[in-house]
Amino acid sequence: MVRFLLIAVNFVVAGLAAQAADPPDTILVNGTVVTLTGPGGTKVAEALAITGDRITAVGNSDDVRRLAGTDTTVINIDGQAVLPGFIDAHGHFPSSGLIEKHFVDLNSPPIGPVRTIEDIVSRLKEKAANTPPGIWIQGRGYDDTLVQEMRHPTRWDLDRASTEHPIYIGHISGHLSVGNSLALEIAEITSDSQQPFGGKIHKDETTGEPTGVLEEPPAMGHVSKLLPQFSEEDLVDAVATAAQAYASVGVTTAQQGAAAPTGAAIFVRAHKEGRLPIRVHVWPAIQAVMAIIENGDQLDQPAANGIVSYRAVKGFADGSIQGYTGYLSQPYHSHGHNDPRYRGYPRMDRDALAKQIITVHQAGYQIAVHGNGDAAIDDVLYAFEQALETAPRADARHIIIHAQMAREDQLERMKEMGLIPSFFNLHTYYWGDRHWDIFMGPERAARMSPAASAVAKGLVYTLHADTPVVPMEPMRIVWAAVNRLSSGGRVIGEAQRISVVEALKGITIYAAYQAFEEEDKGTIEVGKLADLVILDRNPLTVDSLDLDDLRVTRTMVGGRTVYQR
């Protein structure tokens, strides 16, 4: 098992943790400093001092205030709660900024207003009316299980929005899409198109004509490779937009969870231009890294003063449960194809997956693999076992992303190998009712994102939002882990509820550990980076049902305020 130390050896609540040689630049006093250290992670102080970008003292307000010099800024936070900055354990920054500026919002409640396929058509038609003919129109966020018709829109639905524009819209999961007739024509998708392994081109059962619905990148790639590329200016603008949104909810480190090998360049440019106020972890896509390895090269860390860094290499084993492309060991509870044996499918053969993982592991990289269904998780575990047997490596900290339907025996194997499950636990809120009624049935739905089982087994785990799949909402992540309530008010597996402290660790110290940054981030201790979030109330004392009502009043990165309400 991976060893994980979370003991603050130099912390004294009644006094000071350390005496800075020079007066601090900033002092926060009269607060509730939730350090996430000490027994149970519940040790609390009143004040802290910051010198440069580091925390230099933690203690009571009177003692910390005595450290102030003539140029020290003293901030009275008047009882508000100070926590370590929230770390995005898995997401796709800055996609939310790009979507906000360039895509048609097709989300249904509780995220957006779309309730019918006609709403989708209407929104796309409005965009078409203001777009020159021939220009691509893109939309994102539709959910076939939340529109009145309970089906995917088709090419013919989208043709009603426009036949003069190629239209391409993405499912909320990111694992399916729909193109109109012009988009399919440009992509040369016809009734004769062969079904790719690891994906599917939907075809009318009577005529054999493609319906426009595409599953997973092997099928979606026919269209997505033809989409117009955004300019660097567009991308930097999206970074700036998303970064401000993330900072406003207390995120001090974001993540790009599947990037090209040059994926860090835009973030470095945005940082140099002063438009990236938070830190970013870049996870390069596994195919790109394999190409680098085959060329005998290494992925070099970007020079960005600790703001931008490469971390785990990202791979995929399956798709999305709510898209029916997640790969299960037992059939789906129900399925639109009326096939009682349907279990979804893998993205690739398990031996091919293992070959990828072994190659990248042997090159010394940390690896994160997307696995939702338990059959996919079996394949991922097999691949990691093969890699660790082929090239034993202590403390590799490989990650299983989402681990949504992980079984108890699989969690045990993760513990044995020192793997980290990263749970997309907001599924319980956004899709909990549909998992219960449609996708998984009550028994399996009750243990989706099994954080309590991970706690019981002593696993280090993280929690994430997978933004832009759902909005970046760190305190709703915590709320969901503690309460496990669906948007319809149903409890989705009471036995998998965890404490507030354990939920907070999933987006702070455990997320720092996942990135090999536990010495710098994740708790409030002397010597660590002053990446902090201030909340209007203390999450350890409010009613658990009010956790997602807590508001960020200030976010600090390296001691500098990057957001203030």
CATH number at residue 216: 3.10.310.70
Give me the residues of the chain with pLDDT under 70, please.
1-21, 336-338
Q: Are residues 491 and 535 in the same domain?
A: no
Q: Are residues 107 and 23 in the same domain?
A: no
pLDDT, tens digit (0-9, with 9 covering 90-100), for 76-86 = 999 999 999 99
Q: Are residues 75 and 188 in the same domain?
A: no
- Rounded CA-CA distance 150/553 in Å is 40
Q: Are residues 15 and 158 in the same domain?
A: no
Give me the pLDDT at residue 336, please. Answer: 62
Q: Are residues 410 and 536 in the same domain?
A: no
Is 371:377 a contact under the CB 8 Å cutoff? Answer: yes
Task: State the residue range of the domain holding 160.
Answer: 95-224
pLDDT, tens digit (0-9, with 9 covering 90-100), for 386-401 = 999 999 999 999 999 9
Q: Are residues 488 and 535 in the same domain?
A: no
Residue 357 lies in a domain: yes
Q: Are residues 214 and 67 in the same domain?
A: no
User: Which of 180, 201, 224 finishes a domain?
Assistant: 224
Q: Are residues 355 and 491 in the same domain?
A: yes
Residue 272 lies in a domain: no
User: Which of 208, 224, 240 finishes a domain?
Assistant: 224
Q: What CATH number has the domain bearing residue 76?
A: 2.30.40.10
Q: Are residues 48 and 149 in the same domain?
A: no
Residue 237 Cα to chain centre, angstroms: 21
H and E: helices and strands count for the chain: 19, 25
Give me the pLDDT at residue 344, please. Answer: 95
Q: Are residues 203 and 115 in the same domain?
A: yes
pLDDT, tens digit (0-9, with 9 covering 90-100), for 413-450 = 999 999 999 999 999 999 999 999 999 999 999 999 99
Q: Are residues 200 and 332 in the same domain?
A: no
For the chain, the domain total comes to 3
Query: Phi first, then psi: what are they for 256, rounded to 5°?
Result: -100, 110
Give me the pLDDT at residue 5, please. Answer: 28
Give me the pLDDT at residue 337, please. Answer: 61
Residue 394 lies in a domain: yes
Residue 245 lies in a domain: no
Q: What CATH number has the domain bearing residue 373?
A: 3.20.20.140
Of the candidates 435, 440, 439, 461, the residue with the CA atom closest to the CA atom of residue 450: 461
- Element spanning 265, H or E: helix 264-272
Q: Are residues 492 and 549 in the same domain?
A: no
Give me the pLDDT at residue 21, please. Answer: 67
Give me the pLDDT at residue 9, please. Answer: 29
